[in-house]
Amino acid sequence: MPQSVTEPVLQIKNLRTHFFTDQGVVPAVDGVDLEVYPGQTLGVVGESGCGKSVTGMSAMRLVAPPGRIVDGEILLRGENLLKLSEVEMSHRRGKDLGMIFQEPMTSLDPLYPICDPLMEAVQAHRKEKMPKADAMAEAVRLLASVGIPDPERRARSYPHEMSGGMRQRIMIAVALSCRPAVLIADEPTTALDVTVQAQILSLLRDLQSETGTGILMITHNLGLVAENCHTVAVMYAGKVVEKASVQDIFKRPRHPYTQGLLRAVPRLDHPAKQPLPTIPGMVPNPLRLPVGCRFQTRCAFVTDRCRQEQPPLEAVGTGHLAACFVQPEYTASAPAHKGGA
């Protein structure tokens, strides 16, 4: 758990990012509060379409139209990024806020050798122009720091000559080139195979302990969360439904959705013949969200109150918040489903 004495380096308060489509307003992110502490990793988990990535893009202020941040605050060391002009914001990007994307295969411009984005990154946030040779030396140093062998020669290679793992290392080097206070990693290892995944994650951990960067890790991989994150926020349909330390999330999940996600993780100690428990139903249509709790249509513990009132995110333990009126005890086997009626 974060110590109460440390201030969060990035604080997202009541963030609302809505998409104004022809069919109506989609509240992709609807009142989200998150805190990233220096040197720590916050995992944001949830199904596809629950608003994880939009939250990350909102923190960078890179939400493309028709999406728009309609409300909230994004505080970087206490400074509200949403109040900055576009020019001021572009000086924060890369320098104070770094980002790694999901697809390393397309994150590098195929037309330039890989030293180019690195040099672009180290030169982008300097007042006086940096000599090309210095930028190149810095690029080679960065490549070495992410474990690229023979960095002098590799710096002049093109992206198509690199494997996915190598490219993601380069993307990390680019994102960390200016030693940002916060790194937003949007599914950084989803496109990579498992061994490379482990290498990339341990690289991120090492770099984090070196630089004290706070990481916001967006993922749907709970195993990855368990190993790499200090705190976890579970999102569902644009809202945070549970937020706790990684131990509490895995040992004492209080929200039925978190519990469902945990049960859906395949385990070696379960009988092989038994079907994997799933969460029945689908994520509700964001254009027609139900009144009350958004998880009600898929919840086994749904009550009348859940259908009328939205449960607030309330403390259920030390540093443990959950948005559920029922807060059932976690059981390894799936409960009989009675929702959706």
Partner 1 sequence: MTTTSATTPPDYIEDDQAPSETPWQLAWRQLRKNKAAIAGLITLICLYGCAILANFLSPYRMELRSDQVFQPPSPIRFHNADGGFSLRPYTTQLKFNPSDNAFHEVAGTLEPVHFLVTGEPYRLLGILPLRIHLFGAPDHIPFHLLGTDSDGRDVFSRLLIGSQISLSIGIIAICITFSIGLTVGGIAGYWGGRVDSVIMRICEVIMSVPQFYLLIALAGLLPAKIDPRLTFLMIIIILSFVGWAGLARVVRGISLSVRELEYVQAARALGVPEGRIIRRHILPGAFTYASVAATLSIPGYILAESGLSFLGLGIKIPFPSWGNMLSAAQDLDVIQTKVWMLCPAAMIFITVLAFNFLGDGLRDALDPKLRR
Among 31, 39, 49, 147, binds partner 1 (CB under 8 A): 147
Please tell me whether residue 166 binds partner 1 under the rule CB under 8 A. Answer: yes
Please tell me whether residue 21 binds partner 1 under the rule CB under 8 A. Answer: no
CB 89 to partner 1: min, Å = 8
Q: How many CB atoms are closer than 10 A to CB 130?
A: 15
Dist. CA 256–CA 258, nearest whole Å: 6
CB 99 to partner 1: min, Å = 4
Using CB atoms within 10 A of its CB, is residue 132 exposed (0-12), middle (13-18) or buried (19+)? exposed
CB 146 to partner 1: min, Å = 8
Q: Do residues 182 and 96 make contact, with C-beta atoms less than 8 angstroms apart?
A: yes
User: Does residue 73 come out as left (phi exceeding 0), alpha (psi in the -120 to 50 range) or beta?
Assistant: beta
CA angle (225 as vertex; 219, 231 as ends), nearest 5: 105
Q: Which is nearer to partner 1, 168 or 258 (CB)?
A: 168
Tell which residue, 302, 294, 290, 293, has the closest CA to residue 335. 302
Cα 258 to chain centroid distance, Å, stands at: 16
Among 28, 136, 176, 196, binds partner 1 (CB under 8 A): 196
Please tell me whether residue 70 binds partner 1 under the rule CB under 8 A. Answer: no
Q: Do residues 199 and 164 make contact, with C-beta atoms less than 8 angstroms apart?
A: no
- Cα-flanking dihedrals φ and ψ of residue 227, to 5°? -85, -25
CB 19 to partner 1: min, Å = 15
Please tell me whether residue 191 binds partner 1 under the rule CB under 8 A. Answer: no
Only one residue has tokens 């898929």, namely 298
CB 111 to partner 1: min, Å = 5
Q: Which stretch binds partner 1 (CB under 8 A): 40-48, 171-179, 218-226, 259-267?
A: 171-179
Per-residue binding string, partner 1, 218-257, x by CB under 8 A, is: ----------------------------------------
The count of C-alpha atoms lying within 13 angstroms of the C-alpha of 334, restricted to the half-sphere facing its C-beta, is: 20
Only one residue has tokens 């009126």, namely 325
Q: Which is nearer to partner 1, 76 or 322 (CB)?
A: 76
CB 57 to partner 1: min, Å = 9
Q: Which stretch binds partner 1 (CB under 8 A): 8-16, 112-120, 222-230, 244-252?
A: 112-120
Tell which residue, 61, 66, 64, 68, has the closest CA to residue 87. 61
Cα 319 to chain centroid distance, Å, stands at: 20
Cα 26 to chain centroid distance, Å, stands at: 20
CB 206 to partner 1: min, Å = 4
Instruction: Report 36-65 residues binding partner 1 (CB under 8 A).
Output: 60, 62, 64-65
Q: Please count the residues of this chain forming the interface with partner 1, following the rule CB under 8 A.
A: 55
- The length of the chain in residues reads 341
Q: Which is nearer to partner 1, 119 or 234 (CB)?
A: 119
Per-residue tokens: 104: 């390393």
Among 7, 79, 161, 309, binds partner 1 (CB under 8 A): 161
Please tell me whether residue 303 binds partner 1 under the rule CB under 8 A. Answer: no
Q: How many CB atoms are closer than 10 A to CB 252?
A: 16
Q: Which is nearer to partner 1, 90 or 310 (CB)?
A: 90
Binding site for partner 1 (CB under 8 A): 60, 62, 64-65, 90-95, 97-99, 101-103, 105-113, 117, 120-121, 124-125, 144-149, 156-158, 160-163, 165-166, 171, 174-175, 196, 199, 202-203, 206-207, 210
